[in-house]
Amino acid sequence: MHKRLRWLVLSGNHVSATNKSPVSDLPLLYKLHLSGCSITEFPEFVKSQNIERLDIFNNKIKGQVPGWLWTLSNLTLDLSENNFNGSIPRCLGNLKYTLRDLNLRQNRLHGGLPENIFGRLRTLDVGHNQLTGKLPRSLICFSNLEVLNVESNMINDTFPFWLRSLPELKILVLRSNAFHGLMHQTSFPKLQIIDISHNHFNGALPSDYFVKWIAMSSLGTVSDQPDEMYMGYYYYQDSMVLMNKGLEVELVRILKIFRALDFSGNKFEGEIPRSIGQLKELHVLNFSNNAFTGHIPSSLGNLTALESLDVSQNQLSGEIPQELGSLSFLSYMNFSHNQLSGLVPGGTQFRRQNCTSFEGNMGLSGPSLDEICRDIHASTPHETPESEEEEEEEEEVLTWITAVKGVIPGIAFGWVIGYILVYYKPEWFMNHFVQSSEDAAATQLIKEVFDNLPEESERRNPKQPPCPNLD
């Protein structure tokens, strides 16, 4: 290979070994992409080179994460979707050298996050492992940290309100862990995406809870490197899974203009804070599967960028705010299984929803709901297997009754016609029968029957019985 090569992409090939390959003899190489290959061992030659970006995700590397990686300066490292096990090395970064981005998601790592964490790390993603313990408070030493993702582990801790001291934190994902307790009043001035779903948070949220979440209220400005552009938008190099429009969607590229808030699957109670209406740049809002009560705040009508709204599986009452009918980007909404009543808003977006978005609210009504659920109302209700079996038996009985009703008149008609032919035209009937019969004994029997019949003159002029003597 050319000695002056600086950027090498071998992703999606059948590269199984790297330490003895020509790749290890490239002194100027600073970006190496080896994702989606069949690599089984970590490329040790990286230690002696000035590589700034190493993508080696989606391979078959197993064993422990090499500790010497933390001595590399300004390295973006993606080791996700491998078979690494053991614990994360205790010293994650140091004063002289530091990683820039670290992605360890979807491995088999266990234990806790190391306490000795410091440096200039911008991204830390350890989601989908088997990590336990608490979030180390030394994370606040990462003054440049923008993305923290610990989803789908077994971390048992209270809400890390102290993360508010991170001036650049933009994405916080605590989804599917064992976080618990109250949500302390706090502010995240630059937070754009927060997902704390499927934990054990409880209590009520103050009415002014979201007042100081400034980044979700306005887009602000972004300035980044040209290689972080996608379809004209800046994006983060990281990926995450988010509930969007009722589906789990993997965001491979997280656009920096995207705003989302997911508090679903917890035990929040009380009213939904009215201050939620100040987050005007929200695209996704999910409060489902909690214990919220009271009315849906009409301030949601201020969320002009909102595309997905889910408040299902709560104890909300009152009407659906009519202001929501004017949100032109709101393509998905779910109000099901609450105690809502009154008229469903008549906006175009409402008429495009599925009927299931409103089920479980017996008090809802209006032309919009009638139009949405027209097909449901016109169809027969759902039947249990027992009722279906009984209906089949009833149909079978009715079929037999119908058949009998059709057969009996036919039999009766046949007997009448037969009697007329035998009684008034015995010769015709006998000749016809004899010609078609091959059984002589049957023929003889029939002849004897007809011989005993009265003559035609007697049939036409039957003898009258003598009249009784009336004298």
Residue 265 burial (C-beta neighbours within 10 Å; 0-12, 13-18, 19+) = buried
Residue 106 burial (C-beta neighbours within 10 Å; 0-12, 13-18, 19+) = buried
Residue 426 burial (C-beta neighbours within 10 Å; 0-12, 13-18, 19+) = middle
What token pair was written down for 362? Answer: 């017996």
Tens of each residue's pLDDT in the chain, 471 residues: 566 777 778 777 776 655 555 566 676 777 888 888 888 888 877 776 778 888 899 999 999 888 777 777 778 889 999 999 999 877 665 545 567 888 999 999 999 988 776 667 889 999 999 999 999 998 888 888 999 999 999 999 999 999 999 999 999 999 999 999 999 888 888 999 999 999 999 999 999 999 989 999 887 655 555 455 444 457 776 777 888 888 888 777 788 889 999 999 999 999 999 999 999 999 999 999 999 999 999 999 999 999 999 999 999 999 999 999 999 999 999 999 999 999 999 888 898 899 999 999 999 998 989 888 876 544 434 444 555 555 555 555 555 555 555 556 666 656 556 555 555 555 555 555 445 444 555 556 555 645 555 555 454 555 555 544 444
In the block, tokens 């230690």 appear at 47
Distance CA 420, CA 432 (A): 15
Residue 206 contacts by C-beta under 8 Å, 6 or more apart in sequence? 185, 273
**Domain residue spans of the chain:** 157-379
Give the CATH fold of the 157-379 domain. 3.80.10
Q: Which of 46, 43, 84, 89 is nearest to 70 (CA)?
A: 89
Q: Which of 356, 354, 353, 318 is nearest to 337 (CA)?
A: 356
Helix (H) or strand (E) holding 193: strand 193-195
> Is 99 strand, coil or helix?
strand
* pTM for the whole structure: 0.76
Sheet hosting strand 62-63, strand order edge to edge: 62-63, 83-86, 108-111, 130-131
Distance CA 239, CA 250 (A): 7
- For 104, list phi and psi in degrees, rounded to 5: -120, 20
Distance CA 148, CA 162 (A): 13
First-to-final CA distance of the chain? 147
Which amino acid is residue 70, in one-letter code?
A: W
What token pair was written down for 205? Answer: 């949220």
User: Residue length, the chain?
Assistant: 471
Contact 304, 278 (CB under 8 A): no
In the block, tokens 């971390």 appear at 155
**Residue burial 277-288, b: 16+ Cβ < 10 Å; e: rest:** bbbebbbbbbbb
- Number of C-beta neighbours around residue 68 at 10 A: 11
What token pair was written down for 51? Answer: 């590589």
The secondary structure of 206-235 as a DSSP string is: PTTTTTT-GGGT--------GGGEETTEEE
Distance CA 341, CA 319 (A): 5
DSSP assignment letter at 258: -
Distance CA 309, CA 330 (A): 8
Residue 290 contacts by C-beta under 8 Å, 6 or more apart in sequence? 263, 264, 265, 266, 267, 268, 269, 313, 314
DSSP assignment letter at 160: -
